[in-house]
Amino acid sequence: MAVHDKAAEHINPYEVAKRQYDRAVAYLDLPQGIVDFLRVPKRELSTNFPVRMDNGDIRVFTGYRVHHNTVLGPSKGGIRYALSVDIDEVRALAMWMTWKCALVGLPYGGAKGGVVCDPYSMTQGELERLTRRYAAEISILISPHGDIPAPDMGTNPQTMAWIMDTYSMTVGYSVPAIVTGKPINVGGSQGRTEATGRGVVICMHEALRRAGHNNPAEISVAIQGFGNVGTYAAKHAFDLGYKVLAVSDVTGGYYNANGLDVDDVMAYTATSENHWLRGYPNADEISNEELLALECDVLAPCALENQITEKNANDVKAFLIVEGANGPTTPEADDILFSKGVDIIPDVLANAGGVTVSYFEWVQGLQSFFWDVEEVNRQLGRVLIKAYDEVARNKDEHNVDMRTAAQITAIKRVSDATVTRGIYP
Ligand code: GLU
């Protein structure tokens, strides 16, 4: 998301992830060796590989797959295609996956992958060849019981279908559980596409309910990002009766004082260039900076890292921030927002709906027994509300903000399991 990159310029997400970790781990009485072990990735793969482009040229791409931790189970996490991908971003995202999975009680560790590329400037054929070659390169790390990829920014169900097919061709039989976020016709789960955005709104709704706000029509929401997460967050909020004041993507922000008709916005992006908002007619244009500083009740950053920093945290008017993106708020911004009394539902809780339904998809694939969407959504709500409740209890117990409370909950789970398993050999 180029327009959002200005604020992100000099902030290293891995440094942010480690600072969040240091803050939280200080509340736990852990042996120093365990503290050190959970602070670093377990293993990292970096690969440079050739791809034949449509014009016949061969281009070399760089990709990564990082396993942060595998104590609780196979590692889990998405694959990102973006020009901004680098090893430190992948490390941070892998670490956040460890805490996210542990927090919501999934039997997974954390991983992440990425390829440095601009998927919007590539054809479907080029993307398919890039994906198949990257899948082959990381095949020494991924397996249905070892490490299970999923979509992230710049990738989608089709990308997962290619990875599943590539892996299946090499072993000689279909292995649907090698990836999650697949299309439904090759073993994907009902509700997976919508799950992250739905989870964002489940968490938002719970926070508002606890604060005594029981009428969605009185609550206005601004959403940064209109990719998979932002779109379905907007849709679910709209369906529940919330007033979705503004949405944005890389092409700009769109605002309607009376609330946007999200079905109309989605109908527009269904056929627009690259599914972008550019040119959406039934709203006023605003900048990304204006969206973040909008007069509204809830702000949901659903794009990418480092969007709310010490530079703009003071401008935030919302009383609640729900992090659909991974790492959208820096530690300096956390401090400013905390002192202003702005509540934050942190990424590892707010966007955990995606990996939760990924887990349901993996279980369904392993059992070859598939659930209906009502069952998926019921189980998703149960998992997220339970995790929300645990975070809220740790927040009160330690007198900390929600992010630190979420990380305390997650780190404790992983450190306890590490101690129970013991140190090999
Ligand atoms: N990429 C998503 C995330 O950041 C989903 C990961 C998954 O489903 O494994 O949580």
* CATH code of residue 201: 3.40.50.720
Q: Which domain holds residue 63?
A: 43-186
In this structure, the answer to whether residues 249 and 312 fall within a common structural domain is yes
- Does some domain include residue 334? yes
Helices (H) and strands (E) in the chain, counts: 15, 12
Instruction: Give the 3-state secondary structure of residue 64.
Output: strand
In this structure, the answer to whether residues 233 and 326 fall within a common structural domain is yes
Give the number of the atom of ligand 1 that is nearest the alpha carbon of residue 152. 1
- Does some domain include residue 241? yes
- Does some domain include residue 385? no
Q: How far is the CA of 32 from the centre of ligand 1 (A)?
A: 30
In this structure, the answer to whether residues 242 and 151 fall within a common structural domain is no
Q: How far is the CA of 54 from the centre of ligand 1 (A)?
A: 30
The encoded tokens of residue 131 equal 């994906």
- Does some domain include residue 389? no
State phi, psi for 311 to the nearest 5 degrees.
Answer: -75, -35
Q: How far is the CA of 111 from the centre of ligand 1 (A)?
A: 9
Nearest to 92 by CA among 268, 361, 347: 347
Q: How far is the CA of 246 from the centre of ligand 1 (A)?
A: 25
Nearest to 176 by CA among 184, 353, 131: 184
Strand partners, 247: 223, 254
* pLDDT number for residue 10: 76
* pLDDT number for residue 245: 98
- Does some domain include residue 219? yes
Pocket probe for ligand 1: among 101, 152, 363, the residue whose CB has the most ligand atoms within 8 Å is 152
* pLDDT number for residue 9: 59
Structural domain ending residue among the three candidates 186, 212, 228? 186
Give the number of the atom of ligand 1 that is nearest the alpha carbon of residue 358. 8
Structural domain ending residue among the three candidates 315, 350, 385? 350
Q: Tally the domains of the chain.
A: 2
Kindly list the catalytic residues.
Answer: 112
In this structure, the answer to whether residues 165 and 249 fall within a common structural domain is no
In this structure, the answer to whether residues 86 and 145 fall within a common structural domain is yes
CB 50, CB 123: distance < 8 Å: no
Burial 153-175 (b: 16+ CB within 10 A, else e): bbbbbebbbbbbbbbeeeeeeeb
In this structure, the answer to whether residues 202 and 61 fall within a common structural domain is no
- Does some domain include residue 409? no
Give the number of the atom of ligand 1 that is nearest the alpha carbon of residue 351. 10
Cα→Cα distances 34→399, 416, 418, Å: 24, 10, 8
In this structure, the answer to whether residues 199 and 97 fall within a common structural domain is no
In this structure, the answer to whether residues 306 and 242 fall within a common structural domain is yes
End-to-end Cα separation, the chain, in angstroms = 45
Place of tokens 């993307």: 127
**CB-defined site of ligand 1, < 6 Å:** 76-78, 150, 152, 180-181, 326, 351, 354-355, 358
* Residue having the nearest C-alpha atom to atom 9 of ligand 1: 77
- Does some domain include residue 297? yes
The side-by-side arrangement of strands in the sheet containing 220-224 is 284-286, 252-255, 243-249, 220-224, 298-301, 320-322, 343-345
Domain of residue 124, CATH code: 3.40.50.10860
- Does some domain include residue 179? yes
Digits of tens for pLDDT over the chain (425 positions)?
444 444 445 799 999 999 999 999 999 999 999 999 999 999 999 999 999 999 999 999 999 999 999 999 999 999 999 999 999 999 999 999 999 999 999 999 999 999 999 999 999 999 999 999 999 999 999 999 999 999 999 999 999 999 999 999 999 999 999 999 999 999 999 999 999 999 999 999 999 999 999 999 999 999 999 999 999 999 999 999 999 999 999 999 999 999 999 999 999 999 999 999 999 999 999 999 999 999 999 999 999 999 999 999 999 999 999 999 999 999 999 999 999 999 999 999 999 999 999 999 999 999 999 999 999 999 999 999 999 999 999 999 999 999 999 999 999 999 999 999 999 99
For 2, residues 6+ apart whose C-beta sits below 8 A from its C-beta are: 250
Instruction: Give the 3-state secondary structure of residue 149.
Output: strand
Give the number of the atom of ligand 1 that is nearest the alpha carbon of residue 180. 8
* Residue having the nearest C-alpha atom to atom 7 of ligand 1: 355
Pocket probe for ligand 1: among 75, 196, 360, the residue whose CB has the most ligand atoms within 8 Å is 196
* Residue having the nearest C-alpha atom to atom 8 of ligand 1: 355
Q: CA–CA separation, 129 vs 425, rounded Å?
A: 41
Give the number of the atom of ligand 1 that is nearest the alpha carbon of residue 153. 1
In this structure, the answer to whether residues 320 and 292 fall within a common structural domain is yes
Nearest to 82 by CA among 155, 4, 181, 184: 155
Structural domain ending residue among the three candidates 186, 209, 225? 186
Cα 213 versus chain centre, distance = 26
In this structure, the answer to whether residues 252 and 181 fall within a common structural domain is no
Pocket probe for ligand 1: among 203, 305, 355, the residue whose CB has the most ligand atoms within 8 Å is 355
In this structure, the answer to whether residues 264 and 337 fall within a common structural domain is yes
Q: How far is the CA of 223 from the centre of ligand 1 (A)?
A: 19
In this structure, the answer to whether residues 178 and 127 fall within a common structural domain is yes
Q: How far is the CA of 93 from the centre of ligand 1 (A)?
A: 9
